[in-house]
Amino acid sequence: MKLAVLLGGISPERNISFLSGRAIVSALRELGHHVVAIDPARGANCIVSDLELKQSTAAEVSDAELASFNPNKLIECINSEELSGIDAVFVALHGKYGEDGYVQSLLDLRGLPYTGSGMLSSAVTMDKAMSKMLFQVGGISTPHWITVRPDHADDLLALEEIRKEMNGPFVVKPNDQGSTVGLTIVDSGVTDDIANAIRIAAKYSSTILIERYIDGRELTVAVLGDEALPVIEIEPKEGFYDYANKYTKGKTEYHCPADLTEEVRDHVMNLATTAHQILGCSAFSRVDFRLNEDNIPFCLEVNTIPGFTETSLVPMSAGVAGLSFSELCEEILRLSNIEPIA
């Protein structure tokens, strides 16, 4: 098949998306497909060379670079001649304008099949507050939360209400970003610290999610089709699982399968598949949890396009389940109803 891999994009996770896309391009070529790499941030001139892919790094995208991107370029790209003759698209765009339904809706309008979740599921899943509402409807425990606006950072009464409502350490993050972009853990109870955390998150979203911090173990579960893969425990050597600990080699230890009792393991895996289904996800996802000291799991969020380098968490879990990286990519194509044309 002739496949396009969408990577890069215009979110703060742009460079991580390049790394995910690079691994997918290589795997799909190993499977015998003709593959082109496409960066929607470039508009109609969107082809990415193999040399550019080879030189990509996990460096954080600067605010200046983010400000230079124009969402209209996505429309130009998906409508361009570069996608003519393409049989299907493997979406490896992380974050805003890639994982949130925007590019999926454009691909739908162009009539191009693509991997993963559709427009509606992508949009709902990217909205953390909406996801948490649906978790509650489905009986899935999730940390207590509220949403606030950027201007709450300058409202002393609002800051006092936040402190009272949360009653202990809490997490402040953009409502619609990934890779812990703009995330702060506030445990001081000082209103200035709360205000600063809101301002950091507000750089990336007009809605800020504040949720109670769950002290305990960090777990994640990949879902492939409707089946949960082995549970991974994430253990940063210092601090919490922020951008640096995620993408700097040696800063975090991963345990797969996680050291859990059979009862807890099965419960977490069942919750992961339930969350995947409640949000209408397709083909694959990754579901993140905190496990408290009483072994009660709290679902934080679902990622419809999680990191996909050869050392990322979904491929790691798939490997323990017996799937190579190339086989995983092939299975995602199949689960997305993308089959070779007879």
Q: Which residues are catalytic?
A: 13, 179, 247, 286, 288, 301, 303, 307
- Report the distance separating Cα 135 and Cα 131, nearest Å: 6
The secondary structure of 179-192, three-state, reads CCCCCEEECCCCHH
What residues contact 161, with CB distance under 8 A and at least 6 apart?
Answer: none
- Report the distance separating Cα 257 and Cα 69, nearest Å: 40
How long a stretch of residues is the chain?
342
Dihedral over alpha carbons 17, 19, 22, 23 (to 10 degrees): -110
How deeply is 219 buried, as exposed, middle or buried, from its count of CB atoms within 10 A (0-12, 13-18, 19+)? buried
Among 201, 205, 194, 203, which residue's Cα sits nearest to residue 156?
194
What residues contact 88, with CB distance under 8 A and at least 6 apart?
Answer: 1, 3, 4, 112, 113, 114, 115, 333, 336, 338
Which stretches of the chain are DSSP H helices? 14-30, 50-54, 63-68, 72-78, 102-110, 119-126, 128-137, 156-166, 191-202, 243-247, 262-278, 313-320, 325-335
